[in-house]
Structure 1
Amino acid sequence: MGSTSRRRDGGPATLSRAWRRVPLLLLTAALVVSTGTVVASITASAPPPSTTEQARLDALAGLEGLAAAFEKHDDGDSPTAALLRSQADLLTLTTSWPSGSPAAAETTEVPSAAGPDAPPAPQQPGAEDLAELAGSLLADARETDPGLARLLASIGASLYAQAQTLPGGTAVAPPWEDPEIPLEPTGCPAEAPTEDESGPATPASPTTAEAIAVVVLSQERLAYAYETVLPHLAGADRAAAAARLAAHTDSAEHWRSLAVAECLDLPLPEPAYPLGDEFASDPLPALEDAEAAALAPLADLVALSDGTVREHAVAGFAEAATELAASAGEVLPAPGLDDELRAAPTTAP
């Protein structure tokens, strides 16, 4: 009886059990504190944007800021502002956390890159402002992930083409540099085998060599088309076609030389290429359509390359898109991607 009474009154047995609980309580408290700290650090703020995401935000802010400046300067009736707005729409994408789960509620809005340190929009925007933004986008296209790279290159080329249509635009220098072909290598690594002990290799995504091969094919086909229709043209049309024939011949040689320097194997040129009947009946529109179609392989090469090859791809794409806009008299929001973007449901690639 005495022993039972002592336990009910908090005697030695009760104290012993209480002390055994102390380490468990301390461990639980430590877990709660550390877990709370981790949760707070996750929900407090989103991670910093990647280089590619920051390039997208910078491009979006630049397009929207310049569009607002053109609208204000032209009292709301500005074809250039409309072009810039349509290009900004192509850059509006949904963001997510690196894990793939949606961002927290307070971070789901696309942040604006036009912070307090952003340069103010010009009071009287013009061709130089468009060319400057074009140069920024083309520079970012050399460094970002493939999908955004080709879109930035396309929009940047369009901006410079639009600059050419504004007063003083033809005097604005292109915002890109034509990179030089690197010296040919003294030796190229042996080609990797296509099969191993497990059997034939599985199909892979397109390679840089394959992308360059498509560009070369399109340039050689265009040169052949101009050479074919040249005897049927006269006057200014003949002179313009002769210039384009020389340009596409040089372009094909340029890409073949770059492929050699990069140790990339390309197929040999074809002696002739099939052409549709429209090249004989109505050659000028057919040539213009072929010029437009040749932009897509250049855009793909921007995405499927890096380093030196991508630098050449960005410059070559921008030059070709600018020349096409000048000859066709129309500036598209995303040359080379327009058909693809029209087929897309709601978002840009």
Structure 2
Amino acid sequence: MVLIPRDSGTPPPVSFTETARADAAHDAARLLESADALSTAGGPDAKNQGLADLVTLLTTHAQALAAPADAPGLRPTSTSPAAATTEASDDATATRASLLEQLSGSGRKRLADAREADGGIARLLAAVGTSQLVHAETLAAAWQLPLPGDTTPANNTPPANNTTVPAAAPTAAACPSVSPTPDPSSATTDSALAAAVRSQQEAVYAYQVALKRLDDAVATAAAKDLQAHLLLLRQAEALTRANCGDVPATTAGYQLPTLFAQDPAAALGALETSALPGYGDLVALSTDETRQWAVDGLLSAARRSIAWGATLPALPGLKLDAGELPPLPTSAPASSTGRATNAG
């Protein structure tokens, strides 16, 4: 005999991860409407390329954050991109300052939620938050406006609360990713940390090489970034030991792209950009202190990429073809949808 309890009719509780994703989708749609309204309102922002790029960026974010349950007719009103768009459209007095405040606030919220959400969504939230915060900083600089709550380090070093080197865990029992028979080809915290160590080792070597080829005007910035990577390397090694992993041995040298000889500044930008997926992997595969380090590292690497003139992807740390994302609901701004289609 099997007894099946009667359905109480009470819906299951919504997880923190799903709530964080829905909130991020809501904010992305609201920001998209605000940016589109500002760019089409005439005046100095009518042909502002930075705003046009932001509209395309936020369209990609809204598409990436949408869930299958967000289809028209199934979407909860509180987290609906369409509802957020309608709400934002009522405010026709959007200004540069308010847009910067909303954009930077959303970015910081996504980064905070990425520290607590489950794997894949955590990586997506970290990518969205990093992109939104860095673009807010870029627009603030272009518009010569202060960024609310700005805590950007002057030299793009790791945040002040993350300049210490973690202590190694004393026993294997304290290691979240320890495994008696690890598969070398599997994606684990250990493998992601090993990749992070190797990435920092290469970055240190590349900056040391580039410093000898850079003009004095930018050599100072490169020297500061080199110190940042030396610190990141020590932190990555310590986190690897704390997770009971084996720290990869230091390589004597690396074969750098020919771009380092032709344009070392551009090569450093490409190097920083290439490190973003590794941070994203570590965000998805780790927890606690290691996750915190990966989120902070993703943001710092994105800032350094921009500082060296590189083009930041719409979702740094996440390999994704924006052209394969589902379209937004038809209630989304027509002009923004058109821009996103052309960019994809």
Written as runs of structure 1 = structure 2, the 5 A alignment for 1:37-48 is 38=7, 41=9, 47-48=12-13
1:178–1:312 CA contact under 8 A, matched in 2: no
Task: Return closer, same or farther for 1:181/1:207 CA change in 2, 3 Å cut-off.
Answer: farther
What amino acid sits opposite 1:141 in the alignment?
Answer: A
Count of matched residue positions in the alignment of Structure 1 and Structure 2: 293
Normalising by structure 2, what TM-score?
0.72
What amino acid sits opposite 1:131 in the alignment?
Answer: S
Written as runs of structure 1 = structure 2, the 5 A alignment for 1:111-260 is 111-114=76-79, 123-124=94-95, 125-164=98-137, 165-166=139-140, 167=143, 168-169=145-146, 172-174=149-151, 178-179=161-162, 181=164, 184-185=167-168, 187-189=170-172, 194=180, 205-260=186-241
Deviations 1:21-76 (CA, angstroms, capped at 9, x unpaired)? xxxxxxxxxx9xx99x75x94xxx86443322221110010111122223334435
What amino acid sits opposite 2:117 in the alignment?
Answer: T
Written as runs of structure 1 = structure 2, the 5 A alignment for 1:329-348 is 330-337=311-318, 340-342=319-321, 345-346=324-325
Q: Which structure has the greater CA radius of gyration?
A: 1
1:225–1:275 CA contact under 8 A, matched in 2: yes
Root-mean-square deviation (CA), in Å?
A: 3.6
2:273 to 283, 292, 312: 292
Q: Which stretch shifts more, 274-283 or 313-322?
A: 274-283
Q: 2:292 aligned with 1:311, yes or no?
A: yes
Query: What is the CA–CA distance in structure 1 between the aligned matches of 2:324 and 2:101, rounded to whole Å?
Result: 34
Query: What is the CA–CA distance in structure 2 between the aligned matches of 1:128 and 1:306, rounded to whole Å?
Result: 29
Q: 2:45 aligned with 1:72, yes or no?
A: no
Q: Which stretch shifts more, 173-182 or 325-334?
A: 173-182
Runs of 5+ consecutive residues of structure 2 not aligned to the other structure:
153-158, 328-344
1:91 to 55, 62, 65: 65
2:26 to 55, 61, 72: 61
Q: 2:243 aligned with 1:276, yes or no?
A: no
- Offset of residue 268 of structure 1: 2.2
- Offset of residue 270 of structure 1: 1.6
Query: What is the CA–CA distance in structure 1 between the aligned matches of 2:109 and 2:150, rounded to whole Å?
Result: 14
- Offset of residue 257 of structure 1: 2.4
1:138–1:152 CA contact under 8 A, matched in 2: yes
- Offset of residue 225 of structure 1: 1.1
What amino acid sits opposite 1:297 in the alignment?
Answer: G
Name the structure, 1 or 2, with higher relative contact order (CA <8 Å, separation 6+). 2
Percent identity (aligned): 32
Q: Secondary structure of the equivalent of 1:155? A: helix
Q: Secondary structure of the equivalent of 2:320? A: helix
